[in-house]
Amino acid sequence: MNALVLGATQGIGQALARQLGARGDTLFLLGRDASALERSARDIEARCGRAPAGYAICDLSAPEGFATALDAAWRALGRVDVVIVTAGQFGTQEELENDRARLATMLQVNFSNTILFCEDARERLLAAGGGTLCVLSSVAGDRGRKPVVLYGSTKAGLSYYLEALDHAYRSRGLVTICVKPGFVKTGMTAALKPPPFAGEPESVARDIIRAIDRGTPLLYTPRAWALVMRIIRLLPRAVMRRIGF
Amino acid sequence: MDETPTETIHRAQRATIAGWGRIGRAGRLLESVDLNRDSPHAALFRGLGRSYGDSAVPARETDLIVATPRADRLLFFNRENGALRAEAGLSLKTLNELFLHQGWFVPVTPGTQFVTLGGMVASDVHGKNHHVAGTFGHYVRALIMRTADGRIVECGPEREPELFWATVGGMGLTGHILEVEFTMERIPSPWIRCESRRIEDLRAFVAALKEAAREWPFTVGWIDCLKQGPHMGRGILICGRWAQPDEAPPAPPRLRRMIRMPFDCPEFLLSRPLVRAFNSYLFYTHPRPIKRRLMDPIAFFYPLDAIAEWNRMYGRRGFTQYQCVLPDPGDASIIAPFFERLTRRGVGSFLSVIKDCGAEGRGLLSFPKPGISIALDIPVRDNTSALVAELNRHVIEHGGRIYLTKDQFTAAADFRAMEPRLDRWLAVRRKWDPEGRIRSAQSVRLFGDHP
- Tell me what the pLDDT averaged over chain A comes to: 95
Residue A177 binned pLDDT confidence (cut-offs 50, 70, 90): very high
Spatial separation of the C-alpha atoms in residues B91 and B119, rounded to whole Å:
9
Instruction: Give contacts of B87 with chain A, Cβ < 8 Å.
Output: 39
Question: What integer pLDDT is reported at residue B1 of this predicted model?
Answer: 52
> Are residues B34 and A193, on separate chains, in Cβ contact within 8 Å?
no
- The whole-number pLDDT of residue B350 equals 76
- pLDDT at position B259 is 84
Res A47: pLDDT = 96
pLDDT of residue B317: 87
Mutation site for A-interface testing, chosen from B3, B72, B74 by largest number of A Cβ within 10 Å:
B74
Least confident of A130-134, A163-167, B246-250: B246-250
Q: Are the C-beta atoms of B2 and B144 separated by less than 8 Å?
A: no
Domains of chain A: 2-242 (3.40.50.720)
E strand or H helix at B119, and its extent?
helix B117-122
Mutant choice from A19, A47, A55 vs B, greatest count of B C-beta within 10 A: A47
Q: Domain B74-187 has what CATH class? A: alpha beta
B166 to A62, B39, B62, B421: CA distances (angstroms):
45, 19, 26, 10
Minimum-distance CB partner of A42 among B34, B75, B98? B75
Q: Which among A45, A47, A191 has the least Cβ separation from residue B98?
A: A47
Is pLDDT larger for residue B310 or for residue A236? A236
Nearest to B74 among A10, A36, A47 (CB): A47
Peptide bond into A222 cis (omega under 30): yes
Least Cα separation, residue B36 to chain A (angstroms) = 10
Q: Are A110 and A89 in contact (CB under 8 A)?
A: yes
Q: DSSP secondary structure string, chain A?
A: -EEEEETTTSHHHHHHHHHHHHTT-EEEEEES-HHHHHHHHHHHHHHHSS--SEEEE--TT-GGGHHHHHHHHHHHHSS--EEEE-------HHHHHH-HHHHHHHHIIIIIIHHHHHHHHHHHHHHTT-EEEEEE--GGGSS--GGGHHHHHHHHHHHHHHHHHHHHHGGGTEEEEEEEE-SB-SGGGTTS---TT-B-HHHHHHHHHHHHHHT-SEEEESTHHHHHHHHHHHS-HHHHHH---
- Distance from CA of residue B426 to its chain's centroid? 22
Q: CB–CB of B11 and A46 under 8 A?
A: no
Which residue type occupies B294?
L
- In this prediction, residue B262 carries a pLDDT of 82
* CATH code matching the domain that covers B192-245+262-418, chosen among 3.30.70.2520, 2.60.40.420, 3.40.190.10, 3.40.50.300: 3.30.70.2520
Residues of chain A in Cβ contact (below 8 Å) with chain B: 10-11, 36, 39-40, 42-43, 45-47, 49, 185-187, 190-193
Closest residue in chain B to residue A41, using alpha carbons only: B75
| pLDDT at residue number A5 | 98
The per-residue pLDDT for A38 is 98
Across the interface, whether the CB atoms of B33 and A10 are under 8 A apart is answered yes
Nearest-Cα distance to chain B for A169, in Å, is 37
| Interfacial residues of B (vs A; Cβ cutoff 8 Å) | 10-13, 30-34, 70, 73-77, 79, 84, 87, 98
| pLDDT tier, A187 (very low <50, low <70, confident <90, very high otherwise) | confident
Q: Which residue of B has its CA nearest to A36?
A: B34
pLDDT in tens, A69-124: 999 999 999 999 999 999 999 999 999 999 999 999 999 999 999 999 999 999 99
Low-confidence residues of chain B: pLDDT under 50:
none
CB-defined contacts A:B, below 8 A? 46
To which H or E segment does residue B18 belong?
Answer: strand B13-18
pLDDT at B401 (0 to 100): 97
Residue ranges per domain, chain B?
Answer: 12-67, 74-187, 192-245+262-418
In the predicted model, what is the mean pLDDT of residues A177-187? Answer: 93
